[in-house]
Amino acid sequence: MKTVVIGESSGATMETIMSVYPRHKAIVDKYIAQGVVIGIGPFSDKGNMAIFKTRAAAEQFVTEDPFILEGLVKSFAIKDWNDTMLPG
């Protein structure tokens, strides 16, 4: 079982997004270094998704991500995901 965080864009401008991005990337890089992120990135509507190996990692991530903390993500959902295509 994996866990997905799906975020909805607040409609922030690209200028605002890019001003926060370096702090966001530092947090993402931390989770990548821990080996708990499988995939992460934006949707075409500026929403976003991150796939984590564990729910605990996903729950911790949302308490640290500047995109969430600074309001660039209007809302998010954490969902357990049964990836039936790939092992563990």
pLDDT tens for 10-66 read 999 999 999 999 999 999 999 999 999 999 999 998 899 999 999 999 999 999 999
Number of compact structural domains in the chain: 1
Residue showing tokens 């530092």: 26
Has residue 87 been placed in a domain?
no
Residue 26 has a pLDDT of 98
**For residue 20, what are the domain limits?**
2-81
CA distance 61 to 30: 10
Task: Quote the pTM value.
Answer: 0.90
Has residue 88 been placed in a domain?
no
Can you list the positions of beta strands (E) in 1-88? 2-9, 37-42, 48-52, 73-81
Has residue 41 been placed in a domain?
yes
And the tokens for 1?
């079982």
The answer to whether the CB of 56 falls within 8 A of the CB of 2 is: no
Has residue 61 been placed in a domain?
yes
